[in-house]
Structure 1
């Protein structure tokens, strides 16, 4: 196998998207389109990957970072002109060059690998990735000769009636012998209505030079989808969602309602996980075996341990252990670590805190900037008062402590191991281990006082 290179065309403005966001950065299942393309290319053995950027260049470079080299297409003069901008990097190299559009998020590494292998096996100077379309209207048709080699690509508007009956269409993804590609690009003309230099013209030039042109047909038409507007974006989203969900179901995940379950491409899910309708799992979340999620839960960038259940709740950027129960209506904010066998109950918010093994925060509490030990019980309405108006402060509750209902723990403060805090207390000093702390006003009953108040109201 010789050297392999890839060029990602990502310079177009995408005016049909009618958006302030650069076209290839529009997300499909939570990931920008161009990142989908680059991720698939990274799974193919390449010597170099180059992204051609134009409008929004800085944002694309900021997102992809060191995953690619970059060249800038200052003027949008067509796909052939875009490829020509890589000359300084590729023109003098030998090998195979793959050209892919940055707005084709459904392409897979398997298809790209088959395309490369087919191209090199056939000894072609150019190979077109094609697809079978039940309704090919609007697509360029691939016309083959009796040997199966490509004779030409004819655009729909220029095709004869017979040519329009052809259902093999051009997807806009190509393989080229690199040296022949750049030699041919120098002969591409802009003598057309748009005044642009088109990459498909290279096919015609190579054919005129009696070079072999081949085609590889992907078995999945959906991979050919290029996203140029919001309608196509929604179609790509639907197709990608279906692909992802089917992948997980085939690997032992129960998705009760796949049409209403959203899972990002980089999520890892173990076996015998059950996901109920209305749930979203995104980022780089990892879900271990036997977890139950939903209905109507959002999980983002979380690691979730075996046997945990998250019901009608939100969890972001956190570590959640095994056999944990969360919800309903709990909010796990970033930088939370919940240990095994813990419980985070209904209407509980946890932020930048650790909750130890077997501890319970059952309901109606806010736990922020806190270190909660193991075996701790935080009663209903417990609040860690962490913010003084300028700075956040830490609350520490050590192992086996018991915090009564409606208690305020004013940070910085420590409740010692095995200590008790009486219900309704406001704690602003450390509580020693095994102590009982009562910090509330003494109850006073004034007999008959309510009757006096009522009599005053009547007057």
Structure 2
């Protein structure tokens, strides 16, 4: 049988108190719906997504993926939502029904459910809870066979005592859906067409309802408000932190590291507290990340040390570099091996050669620096004239004295030495001292300003 996945993602999520659709809310750097789609893709299944509230925004968020979007104009319940997909389903396929606001159901759980399905069997994912308030209850007969699901508002006193709850996630054949969905009614407390009512229809047709359970309850949890979102955020962050530690990283406090993307690590990586990873981050062996750093889409090679309170974005860092503390590495920065970026230094579109140093309190933008150069404290590359950007070239072994201003476009040639406090607007020749200062003078009779009343 072919495998198809139907993801219900039409709800508004009013309890989120947000202008953004519920399924687009962020969890560990990804939308809720992204998690569901990513796992469905791994099943090699064709994916249908039922959209409704903010349908265009949801479609746009996944426009590059091969997904069949189906719009549910009126939200009349889960059964009605799946009914919108029936015409799109192939004959004799297995259909897994998922929810865009239940993000953490794992691929292996989905596979386990699909294995229960054939023409005479369907699969249902259930969970045992100490307190099942709010959930539909799984009703079984004396032979322990599932006979129906009763929603909370429709359950009687005895049914409310049942602890086995419905997750909503189930797997059936497309032929079964075509047969059962048109038979659903909305004669219930909600006035909606419940997908769960197909369980009773299956039993009436002699189809066996097989149940499976997830390894962890969090896999089955839906997100309806910011409190539930925050709970799953912390849970997911701990899972991601555990994965890093199993790869060989040392996390000083796993509860105080946030991963909002993909992180890969080599051996003996050390990560201090309050570090945030965004996008794709690659850390080589023996890399040290100090406290309070934010790394976004960066690659850091072996042996490099990032001191505390640094921000790095869209940068490639070589081996055995030193950065920080309090450094900002902006997009386009490339550091060769053994380069050093000191405290309160900002770089942008800067290529910095092997062993070169920008020690402190400097801005280097739109620049190329050769090997073994030294950039003194307070140096600024003036790369912007208000309209256009220009490049500064600094050669191998060049020395730029403290508090120098380099007005681009300009070249500081190999071995050139720039005297401290210079404003350089013309190329500085190699192996020469270049100065650009006004003559110092003292003015006699000068009066110190006084505060005006």
The answer to whether the superposition gives a TM-score over 0.5 is yes
Answer yes or no: is 1:72 the counterpart of 2:78.
no
Q: Distance in 2 between matches of 1:117 and 1:188?
A: 26
Q: Distance in 2 between matches of 1:105 and 1:272?
A: 32
Name the CA shift for 1:146/1:355 in 2 (closer, same or farther; >3 Å). Answer: farther
In structure 1, what is the equivalent of residue 14 of structure 2? 15
In structure 2, what is the equivalent of residue 317 of structure 1? 314
In structure 2, what is the equivalent of residue 359 of structure 1? 356
Correspondence for 1:342 among 325, 331, 339: 339
Residues 361-412 of structure 1 deviation map (CA, whole Å, 9 limit, x = unaligned): 1100111111122221111011010110111111111222111111111011
Aligned residue pair count? 448
- Structure 2 counterpart SS, 1:237: helix
In structure 1, what is the equivalent of residue 81 of structure 2? 82
Question: Gaps spanning 5+ residues in structure 2: where?
Answer: none
Q: Check whether the contact 1:131–1:219 (CA below 8 A) recurs between aligned residues.
A: no
Name the CA shift for 1:166/1:195 in 2 (closer, same or farther; >3 Å). Answer: closer
- Structure 2 counterpart SS, 1:134: coil
Name the CA shift for 1:424/1:140 in 2 (closer, same or farther; >3 Å). Answer: same
In structure 1, what is the equivalent of residue 97 of structure 2? 99
Give the TM-score taking structure 1 as reference length: 0.93
Name the CA shift for 1:88/1:353 in 2 (closer, same or farther; >3 Å). Answer: farther
CA drift at 1:214? 1.2
In structure 2, what is the equivalent of residue 200 of structure 1? 196
CA drift at 1:345? 0.9
Answer yes or no: is 1:327 the counterpart of 2:317.
no
Structure 1 segments of 4+ aligned residues over 6 angstroms from their partners: 454-457
- Deviating more after overlay: 192-201 vs 421-430: 192-201
CA drift at 1:20? 0.5
CA drift at 1:182? 2.2
Name the CA shift for 1:124/1:166 in 2 (closer, same or farther; >3 Å). Answer: farther
- Structure 2 counterpart SS, 1:81: helix
Matching of residues 244-255 of structure 1 within 5 Å: 244-255=240-251
Residues 334-355 of structure 1 deviation map (CA, whole Å, 9 limit, x = unaligned): 2211222111110011112211
- Deviating more after overlay: 234-243 vs 135-144: 135-144
Correspondence for 2:375 among 373, 378, 395: 378
In structure 1, what is the equivalent of residue 273 of structure 2? 277
- Structure 2 counterpart SS, 1:350: strand
- Structure 2 counterpart SS, 1:267: strand
In structure 2, what is the equivalent of residue 42 of structure 1? 41
CA drift at 1:148? 4.8
Q: Distance in 2 between matches of 1:434 and 1:159?
A: 88
CA drift at 1:252? 1.5
- Structure 2 counterpart SS, 1:387: coil
In structure 1, what is the equivalent of residue 226 of structure 2? 230
Q: Check whether the contact 2:154–2:189 (CA below 8 A) recurs between aligned residues.
A: no
- Deviating more after overlay: 271-280 vs 226-235: 271-280
In structure 1, what is the equivalent of residue 260 of structure 2? 264
CA drift at 1:313? 0.6
Matching of residues 101-140 of structure 1 within 5 Å: 101-119=99-117, 124-140=120-136
Matching of residues 297-308 of structure 1 within 5 Å: 297-308=293-304
In structure 2, what is the equivalent of residue 433 of structure 1? 430
In structure 1, what is the equivalent of residue 57 of structure 2? 59
Q: Distance in 2 between matches of 1:173 and 1:378?
A: 61
Name the CA shift for 1:29/1:109 in 2 (closer, same or farther; >3 Å). Answer: same
Matching of residues 385-396 of structure 1 within 5 Å: 385-396=382-393
Name the CA shift for 1:93/1:266 in 2 (closer, same or farther; >3 Å). Answer: farther
- Structure 2 counterpart SS, 1:66: coil
Q: Check whether the contact 2:148–2:197 (CA below 8 A) recurs between aligned residues.
A: no
Name the CA shift for 1:433/1:124 in 2 (closer, same or farther; >3 Å). Answer: farther
In structure 1, what is the equivalent of residue 29 of structure 2? 30
Name the CA shift for 1:87/1:155 in 2 (closer, same or farther; >3 Å). Answer: closer
Q: Check whether the contact 1:307–1:323 (CA below 8 A) recurs between aligned residues.
A: yes
Q: Distance in 2 between matches of 1:372 and 1:182?
A: 68
CA drift at 1:190? 2.2
Q: Check whether the contact 1:124–1:177 (CA below 8 A) recurs between aligned residues.
A: no
- Structure 1 counterpart SS, 2:95: strand
Residues 20-60 of structure 1 deviation map (CA, whole Å, 9 limit, x = unaligned): 111111101111111111112222232x1111111111221
Q: Check whether the contact 2:153–2:189 (CA below 8 A) recurs between aligned residues.
A: no
Give the TM-score taking structure 2 as reference length: 0.94
- Structure 1 counterpart SS, 2:58: helix
Q: Check whether the contact 1:125–1:180 (CA below 8 A) recurs between aligned residues.
A: no
Answer yes or no: is 1:176 the counterpart of 2:176.
no
- Structure 2 counterpart SS, 1:192: coil
Answer yes or no: is 1:419 the counterpart of 2:416.
yes
Question: Gaps spanning 5+ residues in structure 1: where?
Answer: none
CA RMSD for the aligned pairs? Answer: 2.0
